[in-house]
Chains A and B, each alone.
Chain A
Amino acid sequence: MEKPKKILVLGSGAIKIAEAAEFDYSGSQALKAFREEGIKTVLVNPNIATVQTSHVSADRVYLLPITKEFVKKVIERERPDAIALGFGGQSALTTGVELYKSRILQRYNVKTIGTGVDAIERALSREKFRETMMKAGVPIPRSMSARTEEEAIYAAERIGFPIMIRVSFNLGGRGSTVARNMQELKAWLKKAFAQTSVHEILIEEYLEGWKEIEYEVVRDSFDNVAVVACLEKLDPMGVHTGEGTVVTPAQTLDNFEYQSMRSAAIQVARAVGIVGECNVQFALDTKSRRFYAIETNPRMSRSSALASKATGYPLAYVSAKLALGYRLYEIQNSVSRATTAFFEPSLDYIVVKIPRWDFAKFEDVKEEIGTEMRSIGEVMGIGRNFEEAFQKAIRMLDIGEPGIVNGRIYKARMSKHELEEALRARRPYWFLYAAKAFKEGFSVEQVERLTHVDPYFLNKIRQLVEMFEEGKRGGFKNYELLKRYGFSDDELGIGKRTNKIVVKQIDTLAGEWPAKANYLYTTHDGSEDDLTFDKGKHKLLVLGAGGFRIGVSVEFDWSVVSLVNAARKYFGEVDVLNYNPETVSTDWDVSEKLYFDEVNAETVSGIAKKEGIKEVAIFGAGQIGNNIAIALKKAGLRLIGTDARSIDIAEERSKFSKLLADLGIKQPEWAVARNKREVEEFVERVGFPVLIRPSYVLSGTRMRIANSQEELERYMRDVHSNHKGHSVVVSKFMKDSTEAELDCATDGKSIIGVTMRHIEEAGVHSGDATIVTPFESNATEKMHDIALALAKALHIKGAFNLQFVISKGEPYVIELNLRASRSMPFSSKSVGINLIEYAMKGIYQSFGWSGFYEPEHKSFVVKSPQFSWSQLRGAYPYLSPEMKSTGEVAAFGDSLHDALVKSWLAATPNKVPKKGVLIYGLSNVQSLATAAENLKQYAEVYTLANAKINGVEELSMENAIGMLKSGGIDLLVTDNYMKETDYEIRRLAADLNIPLILNGRLGQEVSASFSRLSDGLTFKEMREY
């Protein structure tokens, strides 16, 4: 096969539920694999927060929506001779298929490399998949496809309830569900048909209680096949793989089962025609030899990223090489560096992955795990035994649980009935309820009946409970044994005793070959380190951000990777500690050594002791780093950059406020109120609206704006019932003001920074706001002066982020983050610099200029949030000071509107309306009215009678709902919080995957920006702007 000269790689766009940073990792690996061959690469991906959209791995980067129309523009401009579709999740595949079907690829002579489009269709169309499997003799569950409601009902009758309803061409199991009777089926059909792009569903035999097993397969174009990993899900069939707790290697399969399904997985890959990587999911009966193939993903997936990190086998890299025509055994095993990529890893350790949910941020969301993916991130624990790996993973979730026992749930008062309900409904982190149940005397059989989890795993949980309770009774004389099984000192509730960890390598070969592996984990279950440590080297340990959740996502991974690269200049060795399998920073190529382990004081000091590390960088890691800053200092470690005491001042509301007052810097008035009377006294003084939140929570959780006495009372009642006895922080909320931010790097005296503003007014969390650079305002100079004053006063060294509310031209400081911020990849890339690089420089050198330097803005850059409303079933969609988006996208342009329209369209499911717009609201009414005017040229515009916009046709609630259901509305524009009146409308729109604009100001700007679509957009490479 002749090697292509220029390859177009499609990314996956914004981070959303079911499409997260794993595609940054796989895309980055693929780009690297292509670059090694001397092939030029062009990347289309609007996700500006990713590592891959830096020019580190791709030659040319286009921040544009991943749709047929936009990618066509890039093809016309770049004329690549090949396209790779397997590294950008479902978004890339879907767009690739469209490009092929509309013959755009053929017209421009762009060859699909790796798995071809016909193979993609065989894998993804339910009907074709079934046909292919039947022909290949691979067993599949009884099922029938349906294109109409009538067909679906007929199929259900033939197969018999309960049934599983699945949707074609869809990621994250969206729209798929279990129906136990005809009534449930009918209720779901509408939603299911609304969400598939091909209008085809599958009615399938529901395999209740069956085990789910997944294989990761690599196949070259000469039909050599290796099965790289086998993942066993603890949760049974019916729970989405993204929602499942997963262990690898598989623990309960015997040779016959393992090999039968492995052979079937190979048959699947062969029959579909995979070249590169795919995964194949199986259902296995727990009481017989029966198994079925369920589905295959003909591309890199979330589980393949997990499998790569779990085994040390670089699936994306190998897959990219296979796409170029290499044979498997012609590629080197880059971990062992002694063997080829044609082998199947053997693990002498256990890996457990647990999803990270974030339901607390949403109102009314149903807290149960099921067929649809709703988790936001995941964590992966590695240990020398299952118990150790599992308990590490539980701590990595960072939900305040110290392990399987002795946490909030373990100590809670729960009745037998409540426990049964939690287990039956499969509440998030069900295993904590299982541990609680065992403590309360449940048997393994009882818990198995409720959860359908293999008794093998339930027994392990029960044994951990017993071990802990026994230890507690005996004063933890079994301390060493407990440590071997992953109990932390916190979990045991005792002071620190010993910390006898050993460091082991992940070498893909269970130690069989001497590997030069730098991929490491620590364990208490071992007697020997795998390597010797050169303590003479000047080393830096960089902490990663851990598992993703709302507010912590790929942007922090960009910071960590940037930090590692920048730190090389100043250190002899830069090591990373992180535990998120979806990230680039946990790629063992990134650092000298990768410790895949917990990010907490116990682990950090253990590693530091082994390695002779004295310095730690926490500022790339988001809040998780700041949370352990003091503990690390106490452990004798030096934190590079800003001192922990300064961090403490910035994070401690009263200390920070005092500092601002001393420096004469304006801030919104605020107070700590211990009771309702004190709140009312404050409100009397400053007037409504006020911003209010419980004093002990972080990251905007439960933060709310109260506009009236009524809203205030409702909020206080809510706080009071949930968090009795806690004080609240209440501050003056400046209505109709603008929010602006600075992302900066400083050497303590001078600053390099980027000024940004939000389109939405203050009160919308900066992670949910649409952010624009440059900020053209008279206030910027004052903002810069404030930044300089704070940098000097707090001796800031390195990165920081400063947030303002601008009211009547005056900036008021609302928040200072002494670390890399969420927006830093955006601000950096918008002016073509890397603030993290400057942060490192600022720590060690003087910048050599004075004052605040802002690099020239040569273009407008807009960042839009990506929400996952449709996946968060039941959640009320609205914007508030509490962050709810899961990701972001951005675009460059020659004007605000040029950039905005591309950015907004890059977030799914956003589209320009063609049929009808429903627009209504009680606030930002003037903006909504302008938006309505703007939108009239694209679609019919309607409003709701009880929140109407003047001059627009009114609909009753009933009619509006009817129109939504019948497909007559394809954009909803509204503002603020009005759940009492419009919960049903917003929720229905989300369920139907209709684009939502939840802020009037944004509605006004976005609707105005649509005119650029006809006036002509700019399509340029990122650096050409």
Chain B
Amino acid sequence: MGLDEIGLYLENGLQIKGTAFGAKKVAKGELVFSTAMNGYPEALTDPSYKGQILVLTQPHIGNYGVPKPHKDHGILANFESEHIMVEGLVISQLTFGSKWNSAMTLDEWLKKEGVPGIFGVDTRMLVKMIRDRGSMNAVLGDVSKNDLEFEDYTKINFVEQVSTKQPIIYQNKNKRKRIVVVDFGIKHGILAELYGLGYTLIRVPYSYTADKIMEYEPAGIVLSNGPGNPLLLDMQTKTFSDLLEYKMPMLGICLGHQIAMRALGYRISKMKFGHRAINKAVVDMHNGKAYITTHNHGYAVYASDMPKKEIWFMDPDDKTVEGTYYPDKKLMTTQFHPESRPGTNDTKFVFAMFKKWVG
């Protein structure tokens, strides 16, 4: 690998030099950071990162290489989607690691997937800048300063780019009830958990209306995670309101939670720099129990904007609403990722609770 110097250019004028790896290409996106210390194959393939350049705070990345994809019933067990979803990767130290189950190195993977990376960067400095000034748009690659053009992350519909174009059916041998999963950029971790409950899954494009969804005669509906600005999804908000009238058991995760909250009339705020980590506390407001959870969101509803009794989970540090629970509406939502991947197994019970409703 040649040691090519490339730049990371930020909207605020800052430019940082580092060494290129992965694909030789220019990437544009919102610069965000995650503090997860491992699980980069899962993180990089998380469709919620579409449109974003990811900074990882753990210094050594690539330590155990990249595994061969492993699928169960068409659902990936060790990646969150078929491809790398981040626009670019920013790290401190690149490792050409491997382990018994790996197929290639991180560098090879990024090359194969056409994603650029930069290493040799003081990532902590970037984190502090993002923390203080908020997430900002950035360009990564070999570009001259005059050619710099930033894209406004908040104005692009990334869901369009990552949602399935056609319905996909994950047939369960148990032939139990069907669940429709509205794909805003779904992580395979969610599919795996739902499939594990014994249901047949019908993964539908995000543009499906309530009527089309109901044609599948689902026993429950899941609104998935996904990238980008929830305020761009007016039609989906309407769809959700329509679905609510069927009193179907519904579970909204991450972007799905935000769409539901917007439909219920709550204010969605763009966070300064969001939550992207696997070490985040949430407190179950019903019983005082607390869990360590995986977060990946740049928008949120704050507890101050919502009646206390509707809040299920709350982040005790900054008081973001991390889940809601409406037994009368048969609706539960989590802003965090109960399927984790990467992250803890502490909140898998959310799926079990959903199953109780679905039957």
| Chains A and B belong together in one complex | yes
Interface residues of A (CB under 8 A from B): 222-227, 249-256, 258-259, 262-263, 266, 286-288, 327-329, 338-340, 342-350, 384-386, 456, 504, 509-514, 525-528, 530
Q: Cβ of B316 and Cβ of A258 under 8 Å apart?
A: no
Residue from A329, A345, A504 in contact with B290 in the complex, judged by beta carbons closer than 8 Å: A329
Supposing A252-B97, A348-B59 touch, asked if A340 and B279 sit within 8 A by C-beta, the answer is no
Q: Cβ of A509 and Cβ of B78 under 8 Å apart?
A: no
Q: Cβ of A339 and Cβ of B343 under 8 Å apart?
A: no
Find chain A residues with CB under 8 A from B270 CB.
none
**Contact string against A for B residues 274-308, beta-carbon threshold 8 Å, 1 for contact and 0 otherwise:** 00011111010000111110000000000000000
Residue from B92, B288, B316, B346 in contact with A384 in the complex, judged by beta carbons closer than 8 Å: B92
Q: Cβ of B57 and Cβ of A511 under 8 Å apart?
A: yes
Q: Cβ of A386 and Cβ of B60 under 8 Å apart?
A: yes
B171 sits at the interface (CB 8 A): no
State how many residues of chain B have any CB contact under 8 Å with chain A.
Answer: 50
Supposing A224-B289, A256-B78, A530-B124 touch, asked if A343 and B279 sit within 8 A by C-beta, the answer is yes
Q: Cβ of A253 and Cβ of B92 under 8 Å apart?
A: no
B67 sits at the interface (CB 8 A): yes
Q: Cβ of A504 and Cβ of B281 under 8 Å apart?
A: no
Residue from A255, A339, A346, A514 in contact with B57 in the complex, judged by beta carbons closer than 8 Å: A346
Shortest beta-carbon distance, A342 to chain B, in Å? 4
Residue from B92, B97, B123, B288 in contact with A456 in the complex, judged by beta carbons closer than 8 Å: B97
Bound form: Cα–Cα A269–B124 in Å: 34
Bound form: Cα–Cα A259–B293 in Å: 12
B133 sits at the interface (CB 8 A): no
* Chain B residue at minimum C-beta to C-beta distance from A512: B35
Q: Cβ of A511 and Cβ of B128 under 8 Å apart?
A: yes
Shortest beta-carbon distance, B262 to chain A, in Å? 26
Residue from B131, B281, B345 in contact with A514 in the complex, judged by beta carbons closer than 8 Å: B131
Q: Cβ of A342 and Cβ of B316 under 8 Å apart?
A: yes
Find chain A residues with CB under 8 A from B269 CB.
none
The 9 closest A-B pairs by CB, nearest first: A255-B39, A346-B35, A510-B57, A344-B279, A511-B127, A255-B342, A510-B35, A527-B122, A348-B57
Q: Cβ of B37 and Cβ of A222 under 8 Å apart?
A: no
Find chain B residues with CB under 8 A from A288 CB.
100
B30 sits at the interface (CB 8 A): no
B64 sits at the interface (CB 8 A): yes
21 contacts across the A-B interface (CB closer than 8 A): A222-B289, A252-B64, A253-B38, A254-B67, A256-B78, A263-B346, A328-B290, A339-B281, A340-B281, A345-B279, A348-B127, A385-B59, A385-B60, A385-B92, A386-B60, A504-B124, A510-B124, A512-B127, A526-B124, A526-B125, A528-B124
Residue from B64, B124, B292 in contact with A348 in the complex, judged by beta carbons closer than 8 Å: B124
Supposing A262-B344, A386-B60 touch, asked if A329 and B279 sit within 8 A by C-beta, the answer is no
B267 sits at the interface (CB 8 A): no
Residue from B60, B92, B344 in contact with A251 in the complex, judged by beta carbons closer than 8 Å: B60
Find chain A residues with CB under 8 A from B288 CB.
222, 327
B41 sits at the interface (CB 8 A): yes
Q: Cβ of A259 and Cβ of B340 under 8 Å apart?
A: yes
Q: Cβ of B38 and Cβ of A350 under 8 Å apart?
A: no
Shortest beta-carbon distance, B190 to chain A, in Å? 15
Supposing A346-B37, A348-B35 touch, asked if A249 and B292 sit within 8 A by C-beta, the answer is no
Find chain A residues with CB under 8 A from B291 CB.
224
B28 sits at the interface (CB 8 A): no
Residue from A224, A509, A530 in contact with B35 in the complex, judged by beta carbons closer than 8 Å: A509
Shortest beta-carbon distance, A546 to chain B, in Å? 25
Q: Cβ of B290 and Cβ of A342 under 8 Å apart?
A: yes
Supposing A384-B92, A386-B60 touch, asked if A346 and B38 sit within 8 A by C-beta, the answer is no
Q: Cβ of A329 and Cβ of B316 under 8 Å apart?
A: yes
B248 sits at the interface (CB 8 A): no
Residue from B63, B124, B278, B344 in contact with A511 in the complex, judged by beta carbons closer than 8 Å: B124
Find chain A residues with CB under 8 A from B125 CB.
526-528
B328 sits at the interface (CB 8 A): no
Bound form: Cα–Cα A504–B122 in Å: 11
Shortest beta-carbon distance, B354 to chain A, in Å? 20
Q: Cβ of A329 and Cβ of B97 under 8 Å apart?
A: no
Find chain B residues with CB under 8 A from A525 CB.
59, 92, 122
Known A-B contacts: A249-B58, A327-B290, A525-B122. Give 14 more (CB < 8 A): A222-B288, A254-B64, A254-B67, A255-B343, A259-B344, A259-B345, A329-B281, A339-B281, A346-B35, A347-B37, A385-B60, A456-B63, A528-B122, A530-B124
Q: Cβ of B38 and Cβ of A255 under 8 Å apart?
A: yes
Bound form: Cα–Cα A340–B92 in Å: 28
Most chain B CB within 10 A, of A262, A349, A509, A512, is at A512
Bound form: Cα–Cα A504–B97 in Å: 27
B245 sits at the interface (CB 8 A): no
Q: Cβ of B277 and Cβ of A346 under 8 Å apart?
A: yes
Bound form: Cα–Cα A511–B92 in Å: 14
Most chain B CB within 10 A, of A226, A347, A511, is at A511
B164 sits at the interface (CB 8 A): no
B337 sits at the interface (CB 8 A): no
Find chain B residues with CB under 8 A from A509 CB.
35
Shortest beta-carbon distance, A519 to chain B, in Å? 14
* Chain A residue at minimum C-beta to C-beta distance from B97: A456
Supposing A343-B279, A512-B35 touch, asked if A226 and B58 sit within 8 A by C-beta, the answer is no
Bound form: Cα–Cα A408–B308 in Å: 67
Shortest beta-carbon distance, B317 to chain A, in Å? 4
Bound form: Cα–Cα A527–B14 in Å: 13
Bound form: Cα–Cα A385–B33 in Å: 18
Q: Cβ of A510 and Cβ of B127 under 8 Å apart?
A: yes
* Chain A residue at minimum C-beta to C-beta distance from B279: A344
Shortest beta-carbon distance, A648 to chain B, in Å? 42
Shortest beta-carbon distance, B306 to chain A, in Å? 20
Q: Cβ of A350 and Cβ of B59 under 8 Å apart?
A: yes
**Contact string against A for B residues 74-111, beta-carbon threshold 8 Å, 1 for contact and 0 otherwise:** 00001000000000000011010101100000000000
Residues 237-296 (chain B) with a chain A CB within 8 angstroms: 277-281, 283, 288-292
Find chain A residues with CB under 8 A from B281 CB.
226, 329, 339-340, 342-343
* Chain B residue at minimum C-beta to C-beta distance from A344: B279
Q: Cβ of B122 and Cβ of A253 under 8 Å apart?
A: no
Shortest beta-carbon distance, A231 to chain B, in Å? 13
B72 sits at the interface (CB 8 A): no
Shortest beta-carbon distance, B316 to chain A, in Å? 5
B211 sits at the interface (CB 8 A): no
Find chain A residues with CB under 8 A from B124 CB.
348, 384, 504, 510-511, 526, 528, 530
Supposing A254-B64, A259-B344, A342-B281 touch, asked if A348 and B123 sit within 8 A by C-beta, the answer is yes
Bound form: Cα–Cα A976–B155 in Å: 85
Q: Cβ of A227 and Cβ of B317 under 8 Å apart?
A: no
Residue from B122, B316, B346 in contact with A340 in the complex, judged by beta carbons closer than 8 Å: B316
* Chain B residue at minimum C-beta to C-beta distance from A260: B345
Find chain A residues with CB under 8 A from B95 CB.
456
Bound form: Cα–Cα A254–B290 in Å: 25
Find chain A residues with CB under 8 A from B342 CB.
255, 259
Find chain B residues with CB under 8 A from A504 CB.
124
Q: Cβ of A258 and Cβ of B57 under 8 Å apart?
A: no
B358 sits at the interface (CB 8 A): no
Bound form: Cα–Cα A513–B100 in Å: 37
Most chain B CB within 10 A, of A263, A288, A346, A528, is at A346
Shortest beta-carbon distance, B339 to chain A, in Å? 12
Bound form: Cα–Cα A953–B291 in Å: 69
Q: Cβ of A258 and Cβ of B317 under 8 Å apart?
A: no
Q: Cβ of B289 and Cβ of A263 under 8 Å apart?
A: no
Shortest beta-carbon distance, B162 to chain A, in Å? 21
Shortest beta-carbon distance, B129 to chain A, in Å? 9
Shortest beta-carbon distance, B48 to chain A, in Å? 16
Bound form: Cα–Cα A320–B311 in Å: 31
Shortest beta-carbon distance, A754 to chain B, in Å? 49
Bound form: Cα–Cα A349–B33 in Å: 15
Find chain A residues with CB under 8 A from B346 CB.
225, 263, 266
Supposing A327-B290, A349-B59 touch, asked if A512 and B277 sit within 8 A by C-beta, the answer is yes
Q: Cβ of A255 and Cβ of B63 under 8 Å apart?
A: no
Find chain A residues with CB under 8 A from B283 CB.
329
